[in-house]
Amino acid sequence: MLTAWGLTKAYEGRTVVDQVGFELQPGTVTAFLGPNGAGKSTTLRMITGLTRPDRGQATIAGRPFTAWPNPSHVAGVLLDAAAVHPGRSGRGHLRMAATLSGVPGRRADEVLEMLGLADAATRKIGKYSLGMRQRLGIAHALLTNPPLLVLDEPINGLDPEGIRAVRTLLRGHAARGGTVLLSSHVLSEVDQTADRVLVIGNGRIVADGPLAGLTSSSRSLVRAKDMNRLAEALQRGGIAIQPAPDGFIAAHAPVEQVSTVAFAAGIPLLGLREEQMSLEDLFFRLTGGGRA
């Protein structure tokens, strides 16, 4: 659905996006993760034609976004929730977009209702909270019911209820065969939504795959009622251990090996799971500690 090849952009001699390439398949939600300044937004702007790449290209369903005569029907895009005129109403803003896209004006009311903004439809956007602006931006992206959604930090500023609603909405879009690309700098915002994660650091794609695969480590976190016996058993089994948060022991072995050792020692376990790295740890590992 979306293919990017070697997207590269430099500002004043500094390369902010370097040879970024990926391909998104229909029916998937892909998270584009990276710290602030890693090149996420620049990449999304190049995909949507707002910024001209120095090299490389991105196509949506075979054509660059700007080569489609009416691209809003190909991709719904939210790049900056603040990019709206504060003096206009939410409904007025969406009705203008509906006119421009060639969809009926009533569709504006439908998406406002869908995003929980019906009550604020006639209010000036300047009076909207950040979360409401985000929802308005998502409503704008959904206006034409396009197959691809490109959303830059869509969950930023939303309350827990809003986050859950947006997650459900995005998963639903993918379940109906749509494609979603959403960026974030916070792993927890996307870990329940994305099928796949693209990690960008210092302008380059540094990891690409399922989230669980990227954040898994070679360590297990284990907890038992008798932690001293557990520690002794693990060490006897040749497994190095370290204290871990929340009363766990971090064991340098896969969960199967830890389970076998504990079972053989007759120690009932209260918890055992593979250690997941935080996004910060992941970035640190993938980018060698360099932060953009």
Partner 1 sequence: MTLGHPPVQQAHVPWAVRANQSSSFWRLVAVEARKLVGSRSDKIVMASAPLFLIGLMLLFTLPQSNLASAGKQLQPMLVVVQLGLLLVFATVIKLVAGEWQYKSVQPTLLVQPSRMRYLLAQAVVLAGVWVVCTLVTFILYPVLIKMAANGLNHDYLLGNRPGWVLGVAMLSTALVLLTALIVSLLIPNTGGSLTVFFIVVPLLALARMLLPDVFGLIYPLEPAWHLAGSGAGWPQTISSLVVWLTLLGISLLVLSRRDAG
Whole-angstrom Cα Rg for the chain: 23
Query: What values do phi and psi take at 106, rounded to 5?
Result: -65, -20
DSSP state of 89: B
CB 28 within 8 A of CB 38: no
Q: Which is nearer to partner 1, 32 or 65 (CB)?
A: 65
Amino acid, single-letter form, for residue 3: T
Beta bridge pairs of residue 3: 23, 59
Nearest distance in Å: CB 128, partner 1: 13
Q: Which is nearer to partner 1, 89 or 193 (CB)?
A: 89
Q: Which is nearer to partner 1, 145 or 259 (CB)?
A: 145
Residues 6 or more apart in contact with residue 13 via CB below 8 angstroms: none
Residue 79: half-sphere exposure toward Cβ, Cα within 13 Å: 14
Q: Which is nearer to partner 1, 93 or 219 (CB)?
A: 93
DSSP state of 28: -
Residues 6 or more apart in contact with residue 1 via CB below 8 angstroms: 24, 25, 26, 60, 61, 147, 148, 179
Q: Which is nearer to partner 1, 133 or 167 (CB)?
A: 133
144-164: buried (b, 16+ CB within 10 Å) or exposed (e) per residue? bebbbbbbbbbbbbbeeebbe
Nearest distance in Å: CB 140, partner 1: 6
Nearest distance in Å: CB 181, partner 1: 14
DSSP 3-state of 216: strand
CB 107 within 8 A of CB 150: no
CA–CA distance, 210 with 203 (Å, rounded to integer)? 20
List the Cα angle 177/95/103 in 5-degree steps: 45
Nearest distance in Å: CB 174, partner 1: 15
Nearest distance in Å: CB 154, partner 1: 15
Nearest distance in Å: CB 136, partner 1: 10
Nearest distance in Å: CB 203, partner 1: 16
Q: Which is nearer to partner 1, 178 or 283 (CB)?
A: 178
Amino acid, single-letter form, for residue 67: A
Q: Which is nearer to partner 1, 51 or 216 (CB)?
A: 51
Chain residues in the site for partner 1 (CB under 8 A): 1, 5, 41-42, 45, 48-51, 57, 59, 61-74, 77, 79-80, 82-88, 92-93, 96-97, 99-102, 124, 140, 144-147
Q: Which is nearer to partner 1, 44 or 199 (CB)?
A: 44
Nearest distance in Å: CB 8, partner 1: 12
Stated length of the chain = 292
